[in-house]
């Protein structure tokens, strides 16, 4: 699902991308200053390797979304000269072919193998003979996140970028026990964007789930003849609110669980707004009938 409040993540996306590039430049200078032959091309090698891998994963992702997954011909189980069958619950069925895995599947497997089944941004990623592993994961996440952002998954993209920054930062500091202050600043910015996005979605949903009431109002104002107790606009409000609340309890029961009066106030506010705008003329016609 694409993000609703996409604008909330745009600024953070640019911020964390710039932070990763700055951290990469800092790392490149550090590796060059070490003057070790084995370190000279590490960064360039891992970045290029990550780009190449992500291009392949893009093809796999697009093919799968189009309902045409790509067979993994590197897997020997897919090389068959005749149909093969397996027993599934006592029924013989044709052995399914194996398809190339998506980036999300491969990423989850890699991190499960590394951190023992618990994947977190602050997980320990450095084990003996694997000191450069975090660089590979960092740049794969970095380039995949860019593809995800362009595809519309802005929140997911920013989350991947946070992981990428953490991996590079930890590679430089070799600090496994805690994240840097730079990472924490980025995390705070990301949390702020998420809260704004969630608030925006919640507000839109609250407005949307009352739209059905407009049809009720049209029916009431068109078909019901004003009677005693409906002589003023205030009386119209006071008569409509209980009726609309009872109807809403049937349509949106979850909104009324543990409600302390906020839902009724929301309905009242909507009614006031509608009667001052799109239902203004209809209300005036309704009141004219009384005369």
Assign residue 35 a region: left if phi > 0, alpha if psi is -120 to 50, beta otherwise? left
What does each of the 291 residues of the chain score in pLDDT, given as a tens digit?
444 444 778 999 999 999 999 999 988 888 777 765 556 577 888 899 999 999 999 999 998 888 888 777 777 776 777 677 777 777 877 677 778 889 988 888 777 655 433 334 444 444 444 557 778 889 999 999 999 999 888 888 999 999 999 888 888 876 555 667 888 889 888 888 887 776 665 555 555 678 888 888 888 777 766 565 677 778 888 888 888 998 888 888 878 877 778 888 888 888 888 888 888 888 887 777 655
Which of residues 157, 172, 199 is at a domain's end? Answer: 199
Q: Does any domain span residue 1?
A: no
pLDDT of residue 147: 94
Give the domain range for residue 220.
Answer: 209-290
Q: Does any domain span residue 77?
A: no
pLDDT of residue 118: 36
pLDDT of residue 57: 93
Residues 260 and 121 in one domain: no
Residues 30 and 65 in one domain: yes
pLDDT of residue 56: 92
Assign residue 258 a region: left if phi > 0, alpha if psi is -120 to 50, beta otherwise? left
Which of residues 166, 199, 232 is at a domain's end? Answer: 199
Q: Does any domain span residue 76?
A: no
pLDDT of residue 152: 87
pLDDT of residue 6: 47
Q: How many domains does the chain have?
A: 2
Residues 6+ apart with CB under 8 A from 114: 123, 125, 127, 130, 133
Residues 33 and 173 in one domain: yes
Q: From CA 52, how far away is CA 56, in angstroms rounded?
A: 7
Q: Helix or strand or coil: residue 86?
A: strand
Residues 257 and 158 in one domain: no
Cβ–Cβ contacts within 10 Å for residue 5, how many? 18
């Amino acid at each position: 699902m694409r993000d609703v409040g996409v604008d909330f993540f745009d600024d953070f996306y640019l911020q964390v991308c710039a932070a990763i590039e700055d951290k990469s430049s800092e790392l490149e200078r550090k590796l060059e200053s070490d003057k070790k032959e084995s370190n000279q091309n590490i960064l360039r090698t891992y970045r290029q390797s990550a780009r190449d891998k992500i291009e392949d994963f893009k093809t796999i992702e697009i093919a799968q979304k189009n309902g045409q997954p790509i067979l993994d011909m590197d897997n020997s189980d897919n090389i068959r000269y005749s149909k093969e069958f397996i027993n599934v619950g006592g029924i013989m069925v044709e052995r399914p072919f194996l398809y190339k895995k998506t980036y999300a599947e491969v990423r989850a497997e890699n991190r499960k193998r590394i951190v023992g089944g618990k994947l977190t941004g602050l997980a320990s990623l450095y084990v003996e003979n694997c000191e450069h592993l975090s660089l590979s994961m960092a740049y794969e996440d970095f380039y995949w996140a860019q593809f995800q952002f362009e595809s519309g998954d802005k929140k997911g993209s920013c989350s991947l970028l946070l992981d990428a920054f953490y991996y590079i930062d930890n590679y430089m500091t070799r600090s496994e026990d805690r994240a840097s202050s730079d990472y924490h600043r980025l995390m705070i910015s990301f949390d702020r964007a998420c809260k704004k996005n969630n608030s925006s979605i919640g507000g839109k949903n609250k407005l949307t789930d009352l739209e059905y009431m407009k049809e009720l109002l049209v029916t009431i104002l068109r078909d019901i003849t004003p009677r005693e107790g409906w002589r003023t606009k205030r009386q119209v409000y006071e008569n409509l609110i209980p009726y609309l609340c009872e109807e809403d309890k049937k349509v949106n029961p979850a909104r009324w669980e543990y409600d302390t009066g906020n839902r009724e106030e929301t309905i009242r506010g909507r009614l006031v707004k509608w009667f001052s705008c799109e239902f203004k003329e209809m209300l005036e016609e309704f009141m004219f009938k009384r005369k």
